[in-house]
Copies of this chain bind each other. A is one copy, B any other.
């Protein structure tokens, strides 16, 4: 569209807000032929169609409930669902008494909650610490707000607490202690690395933060539990709020039904410290007046009827199978190549793959093109590394076994292995 008019400039935030997610999402949806091991979507096959049909039919017959669902509710969301969630999300930790519906806010997915928390607490130049690698979409949000995200060394047990202490010490030494705002953790089967913060580290994390707060004040923990319900082996670990009653003062615990039930319904939540609850709601009132009430009452019905308890074992079994298929395929296709390693996640949707140091898995490298030419899509791992702190590993890849069928996972890994062998000239 040729025009003589000058272009419209975009805001600093928009300029800082260029990430891969939109592009990857629409690429995956547009090219069903391409085997996408990129998208962190849940798979179509196990979406709870029956439970949904039954619940919609029940709702359709209840005009009082419908009327409620069609109306606005408060910015914080349906009090019915908040009451139910405050119990349900901590159902395995009955001793928890620091989770009140009054500090629980409902959002359109947990992503909106994470965004609001950043919006309410981050000014340009403020510091957030995160595992290296970490969830790239949230890093995009923080980067758009001109936060400094500092990466902390992490392994299969999540963020290393010794490394966290050292990172904090370095920040103090550089005179930036008053800019530290939050530590961001995906506690269980994290995105992208599939690792889970061990109980010992959870306890250490809370203790480190309490020490920091008694000295410097001002430090939150943003605990993202998006994948918590997707555990395929081992015992569940307590969420941070279940470990220490005082954690309620500084821990935000974010959850969502997008992975455990349906992303199209889009109900997430956060348990938020009293000190930021009101400002967060003010921001939310400006943005959306409250997330869709219909979705909230729908999820309330799903919980009330026990549908989620029936659905969880189904998807756990299903994803466990697909995880095993991916791990077996990696074993069969890549085990013999020197310098390649991957993690065995106990849950979630992701496998983190590290290639020999000389391979550039980013879009600028040749592997990406080879892989898409062969017909397989992955998330280049470099997106998941904070700009500061631990070095970026351009030889890394995030694989997801969420969307594809076992057969396509096998084919996808075979094609990826082929691309890697070409790349390494093997």
Do residues B69 and A289 form an inter-chain contact, with CB atoms below 8 A?
no
Minimum Cβ distance to chain B for residue A404 (Å): 14
- Tell me the minimal C-beta distance from A103 to chain B in angstroms: 11
Known contacts A282-B17, A287-B112; A275/B8 CB under 8 A = yes
The answer to whether B287 and A266 touch across the interface, beta carbons within 8 angstroms, is: no
Instruction: Tell which of A47-55, A193-201, A322-330, A386-394 binds the partner.
Output: A47-55
B residues near A122, Cβ cutoff 8 Å: 11
Find the residue from A3, A17, A52, A274 having the highest chain B CB count within 10 A: A17
Q: Which residue of B lies closest to A52 (CB)?
A: B66
25 A-B contact pairs sorted by A residue (CB < 8 Å): A5-B217, A6-B216, A8-B121, A8-B276, A10-B120, A10-B276, A10-B279, A11-B122, A14-B119, A19-B285, A22-B281, A25-B289, A44-B67, A47-B70, A49-B67, A49-B70, A52-B66, A52-B70, A53-B61, A56-B56, A60-B60, A109-B289, A112-B287, A292-B295, A295-B295
Partner of A14 from B7, B121, B263 at Cβ < 8 Å = B121
Chain A at the B interface: SS class: helix
Q: Which residues of B contact A93 (CB under 8 A)?
A: none
Would A144 and B286 be within 8 Å (CB), given that A10-B279, A17-B279, A22-B281 are in contact? Answer: yes
- Name which residue of chain B comes closest to A9, CB basis: B218
Q: How many copies does the complex hold?
A: 2
Chain B CB within 8 A of A294 CB: yes
Residues of A participating in the B interface, judged by any CB pair closer than 8 Å: 1, 3-15, 17-19, 21-22, 25-26, 29, 41-42, 44, 47-49, 52-54, 56-57, 59-61, 63, 66-75, 108-109, 111-112, 115, 119-123, 126, 137, 140-141, 144, 213-214, 216-220, 249-250, 262-266, 273-276, 279-289, 291-295, 298
Inter-chain contact B60/A53, CB cutoff 8 Å: yes
A11–B279 Cα distance when bound, in Å, is 9
* Known contacts A60-B53, A292-B108; is-contact A213 B67 (Cβ 8 Å): no
Decide: A7 and B275 in contact? CB cutoff 8 A.
yes
Which residue of B is nearest A287, CB measured? B115
Which among B11, B59, B75, B115 is the interface contact of A121 at CB below 8 angstroms?
B11
Partner of A280 from B14, B68, B141 at Cβ < 8 Å: B14
A293 to B52, CA, bound (A): 14
Among candidates B11, B15, B73, B287, residue contacting A111 with C-beta atoms closer than 8 Å = B287
Considering the chains assembled together, what is the distance between the CA atoms of A272 and B270 in angstroms?
Answer: 32
Q: Which of B10, B111, B144 contacts A289 (CB 8 A)?
A: B111
Contact A283 B21 (CB under 8 A): no
Establish whether residues A8 and B218, one from each chain, have CB atoms under 8 Å apart when the complex forms. yes
Cβ–Cβ contact A250 & B8, under 8 A: yes
CB distance from A112 to the nearest CB of B (A): 5
A78 nearest in chain B by CB position? B264
* Cα-based distance from A281 to B61 in the complex (angstroms): 38
A263 to B70, alpha carbons, bound, how many Å?
Answer: 6
Closest to A55 in B: B60
Nearest-neighbor residue (CB-CB) of A121 within chain B: B11
A220, closest chain B residue (CB): B8
Shortest distance between the CB of A11 and any CB in chain B (Å): 5
Contact yes or no, A11 B120, CB < 8 A: yes
CA distance A53 to B15 in the complex (A): 44
Task: Determine if A282 and B218 form an interchain contact, defined as CB atoms under 8 angstroms apart.
Answer: no
| Contacting pair B22 A282 (CB below 8 A) | yes
A1-B249, A25-B289 given; name 15 further pairs at CB < 8 Å.
A5-B217, A11-B120, A14-B121, A14-B279, A17-B282, A17-B286, A26-B75, A53-B61, A54-B60, A70-B265, A109-B288, A111-B286, A262-B294, A264-B294, A294-B295
- Docked Cα-Cα span, A27 to B305, in Å, equals 31
How far, in Å, is A284 (CB) from chain B's closest CB?
8
A321–B78 Cα distance when bound, in Å, is: 31
A74 touches B29 (CB 8 A): yes
